């Protein structure tokens, strides 16, 4: 899983190929492009979190939905979609799946007949407690790469980039 | 396309919904997670570049492959895959497509009978010149969000995250 372990296992031949790849990539100038490096960073970080959540048969988006329902029990589907920038059809499928698995419940919304209030079940609450530990360990792996000041600057920079899209809630 | 234009078009009702979404998201703590904000940043930046390249019927990965072949004319497919972390089947399909479109050529490799040397055609060179201008305008939109020092720190931080995966060439 860790970069150090991967490096140790690599054969001299594979290492040479990687060194050549690094030189070739540097010649293109791509490692100086924010967009390009951002994509590689995202792929590496995502892969780390996806692997960590796999034993629980959930993806990062499930975790985010569960967190929202803890912060705002009874939230409407639409509110979750707005907060997480998830398109309606994808969110409906996701909520269906979590309901079938007994993780959340759709209940009548007290103020809005056309909507449902979504709530975690006891099972959902127990699952979220486990996922939180996994996610926190993942975040610690990322934080270990930065000082506190570097981390704050990185989060700020990423939020500025996220706001290139007008509909982000970050 | 720009965030400013999107904001102007937004109705007061949509703005209220977005403000509520922002408050809800802040309550979850997710905007303080590097992995979460990274994903939103990547989605926004990628969408900007994908839209900019659309008129040329190319995706960012096509652009990267063309850049590699300018830096290293006659490169092998495997070398491109190593540099850009593209899996072999995906890369084969991509090279096939670029060859069919007359953008690059597979030629016999002078040192390795089992490989092809890949080269841009004149059309490929002309296309890349146009794509470079589009990509540079995209990168200027990103750079406008940062001072020179902030930009360097951001690139450095993203490269550290990318190296969580041992097989990156960054």
DSSP letter for A102, please: T
The DSSP element (H or E) to which A116 belongs, if any, is strand A116-120
Which one, of B144, B147, B164, B146, lies nearest residue B34 by Cα? B164
The residue count of chain B comes to 170
Determine, for residues A45 and B34 on separate chains, whether the beta-carbon distance falls below 8 Å: yes
pLDDT given at position B165: 85
Check residue B1 and give its pLDDT: 42
Residues in B closer than 8 angstroms to A49, CB to CB, are: 35
The per-residue pLDDT for range B133-160, each reduced to its tens digit, is 999 999 999 999 999 999 999 999 999 9
* Alpha carbon distance A100, A88 (integer Å): 18
Q: Which of A39, A18, A11 is nearest to B168 (CA)?
A: A18
- Evaluate whether B92 touches B118 at the Cβ level (below 8 Å): no
How many alpha carbons lie under 13 Å from residue A164 in its C-beta half-sphere?
27
Residue A118, sorted as left (phi over 0), alpha (psi -120 to 50) or beta, turns out to be beta
Write down the residue that tokens 């940043």 correspond to.
Answer: B41
pLDDT tens readout for residues B84-100: 999 999 999 999 999 99
The pLDDT of residue A110 is: 86
Answer whether residue B32 shows pLDDT above 90.
Answer: yes
CB contacts < 8 A (A, B): 252
Residues of A in contact with B143 (CB under 8 A): 34
Axis-axis angle for helices A60-71, B34-53 (nearest 10) = 120
Answer yes or no: are the C-beta atoms of B140 and B82 closer than 8 Å.
no
Task: Say if residues A130 and A62 touch (Cβ distance below 8 Å).
Answer: no
Substitution target in A18, A19, A33, A53 with the highest count of B β-carbons within 10 Å is A33
pLDDT at A3 over 90: no
Whether the Cβ atoms of residue A104 and residue A95 lie closer than 8 Å to each other: yes
Q: CA-based Rg of chain A, rounded to a whole angstrom?
A: 20
The answer to whether the Cβ–Cβ distance between B21 and A70 falls below 8 Å is no
- The answer, for A144 touching chain B at a CB cutoff of 8 Å, is no
Contact B139, A34 (CB under 8 A): yes
Q: What is the pLDDT of residues A123-162, one digit of tens each?
A: 999 999 999 999 999 999 999 999 999 999 999 999 999 9
Beta carbons of A2 and B130 less than 8 angstroms apart:
no
Which pLDDT tens digit goes with each residue over B59-73?
A: 999 999 999 999 999
Query: Confidence band (pLDDT; 50, 70, 90) for B166?
Result: confident
Q: Cα separation of B66 and B56, whole Å?
A: 13
Name the residue of chain A whose CA is nearest to B2's CA: A164
Judged against a pLDDT cut of 50, whether residue B74 lies above it is answered with yes
* Residues A76-111 pLDDT 10s: 999 999 999 999 999 999 999 999 999 999 998 888
- Greater confidence, B4 or A90? A90
Residue A11 structure tokens = 């054969």
Question: In the predicted model, is pLDDT for residue B7 greater than 60?
Answer: no
Across-strand partners of B71? none
Q: How many CB atoms are closer than 10 A to CB B55? A: 9
Instruction: Please report, rounded to a whole number, the percentage of residues in chain B having pLDDT higher than 90.
Output: 77
- Res A4 pLDDT > 50: no
Distance CA B100, CA B117 (A): 16
Give the pLDDT of residue B2.
Answer: 45
Reported ipTM? 0.86
Residue B63 near residue B53, CB atoms below 8 Å: yes
pLDDT of residue A9: 58
Q: Check residues B108 and A52 and name the one with the higher pLDDT.
A: A52
Say if residue B22's pLDDT is above 70.
yes
Q: Give the percent of chain B with pLDDT over 70.
A: 94
Cβ distance B60 to A35 less than 8 Å, yes or no, reads yes
Residue-level pLDDT at A169: 84
DSSP alpha helix (H) spans, A33-170: 34-53, 60-71, 77-84, 88-100, 122-143, 148-162
B76 in reach of chain A (CB within 8 A): no
CB contact under 8 A, A167 and B20: no
CB contact under 8 A, A37 and B170: yes
Question: What are the pLDDT digits (tens) for A8-56?
Answer: 556 787 778 888 889 999 999 999 999 999 999 999 999 999 999 999 9
CA B138 to chain centre: 10
Mean local confidence (pLDDT), B73-87: 92
Helices (H) and strands (E) in chain B, counts: 8, 2
Does residue A6 or residue B150 have the better pLDDT? B150
């Amino acid at each position: 899983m860790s970069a150090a372990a991967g490096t140790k296992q690599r054969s001299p031949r594979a290492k040479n190929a990687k060194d050549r790849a690094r030189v070739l990539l540097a010649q293109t100038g791509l490692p100086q492009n924010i967009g390009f490096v951002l994509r590689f960073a995202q792929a590496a970080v995502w892969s780390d979190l996806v692997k960590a959540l796999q034993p629980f048969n959930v993806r990062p988006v499930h975790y985010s939905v569960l967190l929202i329902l803890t912060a705002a029990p009874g939230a409407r589907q639409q509110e979750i979609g707005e907060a997480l920038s998830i398109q309606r059809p994808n969110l409906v499928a996701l909520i269906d799946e979590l309901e079938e698995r007994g993780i959340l419940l759709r209940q009548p919304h007290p103020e809005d007949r056309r909507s449902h209030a979504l709530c975690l079940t006891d099972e959902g609450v127990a699952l979220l407690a486990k996922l939180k530990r996994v996610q926190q360990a993942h975040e610690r792996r990322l934080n270990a790469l930065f000082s506190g000041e570097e981390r704050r600057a990185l989060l700020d920079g990423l939020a500025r980039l996220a706001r290139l899209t007008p509909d982000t809630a970050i």
